Every structure is written in C-alpha cells, then in structure tokens.
Structure 1
C-alpha cells in the first residue's frame, strides 16, 4: 500500500493519518514526517487527552529545543487503511503531530519535489 502526502510550507512533508482512541473511534489528522525524529510518532499532551491510551514509560530526549521529557503511551493509529499499535512519544509544546524515522524500517519514503510527488509506501 502507498500513502500519498502533500508538501506544506517550506516543503514540509505531510501525511493524513488517524489517531484511534481506546474505544476504536478515529480522529483524522495531518502529521508532519520528521526525519530528525527517531521514533514512530510524537504528539502534544493536549492532543491525546481523552484517548484512553495506556501510559508505559518516560524518556528523556535531545530535541531541537534542548533536553525534553516525553511520556510513552501504547497508542494506535491508522496509516493508509492499516491499524498499527505503536509507542507514542507524548510531550509538551509540539506544534505538529510527528511521524518519525521508524516508519522507514518498513516503508519507503519517496520525495520528488519537481514532480510534486510524495509517498510513503
């Protein structure tokens, strides 16, 4: 399966995904693909209130803003019609939901700016 994305301001890479709450309800959002983020998904704390995801752990990470603390939750998302149970890094002050490099362990990112082609397949 191949997920098509879009280019945002300053050629940011956006893909539509769904966050799935503990009751199975889906919230469609756009997520920014961030090759500088090493994990699966990062979300701002206020964006997951009410999702009922289970807290797993806490992790300190070096970010562009310095050291930050992230809570790790067992989350569920839908990407290109397929549901995934993944660890979700939850922090404060994230302006975008971030998809990280772990997706590249199972999918191929194709970025062709001249052709305006962006896929994750």
Structure 2
C-alpha cells in the first residue's frame, strides 16, 4: 500500500519512483487523474535520460481535444513493487499523471475529512 497526500486543491498525490534504463530510481510526485484512461503520462521534457524503449504513437482524446502521444515502455516502482507499463509522453503535461488503469489492480481509499489517502492491494 502507498500513502498519498492531498494537494493544495485536493489533488490526489502519490510519490512513486520512475526507473531509468540504467536502473537509477527518480522519486516524483504523481497525481491520480481518473480522467486519464491508461497507466502513466508525463511531459516530453521530463523524458530525457530515462532511455525507455519507444513503442510508437497514439492519438488520445483529452478534455482540450485530441492530442498525439509518444508511447514508451517504462518502469515505475510503487510501494516497493516494480511495474513495466506503457508511458504516454506529450507536450504540456504539467504533472506526472497516474491513470485509472491502476484502479483495476489497486484499491483507492479517499477520505478528505479524515485526510486519508491510500492506493493499495
């Protein structure tokens, strides 16, 4: 299980590790975005140095319209477990985003009045 925190505007924030091709782990704060249908999204400027395998392009429908994303085979560590997942990389993504695919394998508990936020088994 991973403990999260609420952002200034009640965003659901979790610390995860992005794992580069040389196995270097970089801790980042990621926001859970249930409007994003896949696993992980990040801005193209944040991709440098990860040396992830390029898988191709994909068009996705966003709130602001259709956008083109490059897809990479990335690695992340959440709560000590390493996952190999597709990472969607595009322009203008201000935060690392966790998508709702995580909710198919993890239980999300959100209790704002009690300040409890967990993503677990």
TM-score by length of 1: 0.97
The RMSD of aligned alpha carbons is: 0.6
Runs of 4+ off more than 3 Å: none
Between the aligned partners of 2:40 and 2:46, the Cα distance in structure 1 is: 13
Runs (5+) with no aligned partner, structure 2: none
Deviation of residue 94 (structure 1)?
0.3
SS at match of 1:11: coil
Residue 91 of structure 1 is matched in structure 2 by 90
Question: In the alignment, which residue of structure 1 is the partner of 2:44?
Answer: 45
What is the CA–CA distance in structure 2 between the aligned matches of 1:74 and 1:3, rounded to whole Å?
A: 23
Kindly state the Cα deviation for residue 57 of structure 1 after the two structures are TM-superposed: 1.5
Unaligned runs of 5+ in 1: none
Q: Which residue of structure 1 lines up, in the alignment, with residue 63 of structure 2?
A: 64
Listed as ranges, the matches of 1:24-43 within 5 Å are 24-43=23-42
- Report the TM-score, using the length of structure 2 for normalisation: 0.97
